[in-house]
Amino acid sequence: MINKVEVSTPGKLMLLGEHAVIYGRPCLVTAVDQRMKVIGEKVGGPGITIDAPDVGIHDFEYKPGDGDVPKGVRFVVAALKNFGWNGGLKITTASEFSSEFGFGSSSAVTVGVLKCLSELSETKLDNKHLFDLAYKSVLDVQGVGSGFDLAAAIWGGTLRFVTGGKKIESLKTKELPLVVGYTGIKADTTTLVKMVSQKREGSYGIVEEIFDQVESLVNEARVGLEKGNWEQVGGLMNENQKELETLGVSTIELSRLITAAREAGAWGAKLSGAGGGDCMIALADKPKVIGKAIAKAGGVVINVSSGAEGVRVE
Ligand code: MEV
C-alpha cells in the first residue's frame, strides 16, 4: 500500500500559436526544466489539508462540498472532485518557478495532484486519461483554455498540440536556443482570451483569417524545429508576433523586450502565452548578448532548458 508519494511536473512555454489554438488550430509548446512539486500523503480521518505556501495557502482545511474555496486551491479541489477522491489526505505543493511568469503553474498543479491521487489509490491512468481529467478540472475552474499547458506538463518535450488534445504529437528536436524575458507584469489569461473572443465575433471573419495564417506559421515552424533551422523558426516567430499585435494582445513592455532582443541579433522574438505581460521568448545563438539586451530594456531573464521531462514520480 502506498501512503505517501511525491511527483513533479514541468512548466511550459508557448512557442507559436497562442489564441489560435483555442479555435481549433495547432500550437507548438515546449516543457521547461523548472518544475512544480506535489506531495500527497494519506492521513487518518476524513479531513483534507492543502498546503501551498507559494500562493499564500497554509494548511487550508477543505471539506468536500465547500463551495467557496480560496483562489490558490481551486485547481487542487477541482482535481480532487474529478478524480473522486475519498478519505483523509494532505496535499503539499512547492514550485521552482513563480506563478507570476505564466509558466502554467495551475496546470502543473492540476496534473501533479491527479498523478498523486492515481499513485495513492493505485489506479492506472494513461496519459490521455490523465489529460482528460486534468482538462475537465481546468475548465471547471476557469471556463476557457485549450489544454496545451496540461499536455506539456504530462508528456513533456516539445509538442504540436491541437485544441482540447484532439492531436498531441511529440516533436524530435534538439535543445532550443531560447532566451526568456519576464516583463514583471502578471497577465490574466481568461481576460485576454475573452477579449480576443469578442474581437473575433465582430471581425467579419478577419480574426479567423489571422488564425488560418497562424496555423500555416505553426506548421512551417514544426518542420523548422525538427530540422534545427533556427533562423527559419525565428522568422516565423516574428511573423506570429505581428499577428498577435494585430489581435491587440501585445503590450509596450513586451514590445520593448522583443525589439531589444531582435536588435541585439536574435533570429526572432515574440510574446509567449496570452500576452498582456508575462514573458517573451527569443531564439538566438548568442544567449548572453540577447539576455543582456533584454535586461537593459527592463526585463528579467529566466534561465530555462526546453524539452523537459513530463510528469514523473520522484
Ligand atoms: C495562454 O498561455 C495561451 C492561450 O492560447 C490560452 C490557451 O491556449 O489555453 C491564450
| Contact residues for 260 (Cβ-Cβ < 8 A; gap 6+) | 293, 294, 296, 297, 299
pLDDT tens digits, one per residue of 197-236: 999 998 999 999 999 999 999 999 999 999 999 999 999 9
Listed as ranges, residues in the chain with pLDDT below 50 are: none
Element housing 108 (H / E): helix 105-120
Query: Which residue is it, cell 507584469?
Result: 185
The CB of 273 under 6 Å from ligand 1? The reply is yes
Q: Exactly one of 126, 149, 278, 285 is catalytic; which is it?
A: 149
Residue 54 annotated in active site: no
User: What's the pLDDT score for residue 66?
Assistant: 78
Find residue 51's DSSP bridge partners. 92
> Would you say 310 and 31 are in contact if contact means Cβ atoms under 8 Å apart?
yes
Q: Enter the C-alpha cell of residue 248.
A: 491587440
- The two most distant CA atoms of the chain are separated, in Å, by 61
The CB of 50 under 6 Å from ligand 1? The reply is no
**DSSP per-residue string spanning 113-165:** HHHHHHHHTT----HHHHHHHHHHHHHHHHS---SHHHHHHHHBSEEEEEGGG
Element housing 35 (H / E): strand 26-42
| Helix axes 252-263 and 287-296, enclosed angle (nearest 10) | 140
Q: Enter the C-alpha cell of residue 82.
A: 474529478
User: What's the pLDDT score for residue 65?
Assistant: 78
The CB of 112 under 6 Å from ligand 1? The reply is no
User: What's the pLDDT score for residue 74?
Assistant: 95
Q: Which pTM was predicted?
A: 0.97
